[in-house]
Amino acid sequence: MSKPKIATTALTSCFGCHMSILDIDDLLLKLIELVDFDKSPIADIKDFTGPVDVGIIEGGISNDENLEVARDFRKHCKVLVSLGECAIQGNIPAMRNTVPLKECLEVAYLSGPTVENPSGRIPDDPDIPMLMNKVYPVHELVKVDYFIPGCPPPAETIWEILSSLLLGKEIDLSYTMLKKD
């Protein structure tokens, strides 16, 4: 029997949730034995090679490419997990939802105290992904099956859920595993 497959990605986020996956430490070696990685920065595989059992998304959706990746994950993954607050509710990046996007760009590229911008142009390369006016939680745009809260969720929680999902066990989380800071 082939090993279950897992895929991960980071959208608009800080990568801390992926770091928390690495915080399972030596269990990482066990994870590598248990599963095959498909598309994931951890294994450096850039595109789906086929259907995947568990897909993990870190981060909210703030541009058209994020949305494309989220849809691609939904299409390929039997189970889709939102890992961490950015995926679940937008979190810190979504603080920009209270401000017009234009103002964010102006502060960064026109009015900042160290800015030298002789052309007065805000970066506008046609290949830069289109920013959305808001940062969205993943489940507002694609269906999500599981939510793991925390910023980031603790490594033990991630391991308990992942290993249970992969081995078909019942998920059993203690109170401390669910407690946020």
Partner 1 sequence: MRTATKNGRKIIINPVTRVEGHGKVTIKLDEAGKVEQARMHIIEFRGFERFILGRFYWEVPVIVQRLCGICPVSHLLCAAKAMDVIVGADKLTPTGEKMRRLMHYGQTFQSHTLHFFHLSSPDLLFGFDADPLKRNIIGVAQEHPELAKMAILMRKYGQEVIKATAGKKIHGNGAIPGGINKNLSIEERDFLLKDIDQMIQWSVEGLNLYKKLYRDDIERMSAFGSFESNFVSIVDEDGRFDIYDGSLRAKDPDGKLIFDQIKPMDYLNYIREEVRPWSYMKFPFIKQLGMEKGWYRVGPLARVNNCDYMDAPMSEKERREFMELGGGRPVHSTLAYHWARLLEILYCAEKMKELLNDPDLQGTDLVVTGERRSEAVAYLEAPRGTLFHHYRINDRDQVEMANLIVSTTSNNEPMNQAVKSVALEYLEGAEITEDLLNHVEVAIRAYDPCLSCATHAVGRMPLIVRLEGPGGELMQEKVRG
Site for partner 1 contains 4 (CB under 8 A) = no
Distance between CA atoms of 92 and 86, rounded to whole angstroms? 7
Site for partner 1 contains 177 (CB under 8 A) = no
Which listed option, ligand SF4, partner 1, none, makes contact with residue 141 (CB within 5 to 8 Å by class)? none
Angstrom CA distances, 126 to 21, 67, 123, 129, 131, stand at 35, 18, 9, 8, 12
Query: Which 100-139 residues touch partner 1, going by CB under 8 A?
Result: 101, 103-109, 112-117, 119, 121-125, 127-129, 131
Distance between CA atoms of 36 and 25, rounded to whole angstroms? 18
In the complex, least distance from residue 112 CB atom to partner 1, rounded to whole angstroms = 5
Which listed option, partner 1, ligand SF4, none, makes contact with residue 12 (CB within 5 to 8 Å by class)? partner 1
Comparing CB distances to ligand SF4, the nearer of 20 and 39 is 20
Structure tokens that stand for 39 in this block = 């598309």
Angstrom CA distances, 23 to 19, 69, 115, 134, stand at 6, 25, 38, 31
- Size, binding site for partner 1 by CB under 8 A: 68
The residue whose Cβ lies closest to ligand SF4 is 16
Structure tokens that stand for 74 in this block = 């939904």
Q: Is the CA virtual torsion 134, 140, 141, 145 positive or negative?
A: positive
Q: Of 18-26, 137-145, 157-165, 170-178, which part binds partner 1 (CB under 8 A)?
A: 18-26
Residues 6+ apart with CB under 8 A from 97: 90, 134, 135
Comparing CB distances to ligand SF4, the nearer of 67 and 94 is 94
Distance between CA atoms of 116 and 82, rounded to whole angstroms? 40
Which listed option, partner 1, ligand SF4, none, makes contact with residue 173 (CB within 5 to 8 Å by class)? none
Query: Which 43-72 residues touch partner 1, going by CB under 8 A?
Result: 43-47, 62-63, 65, 68-69, 72
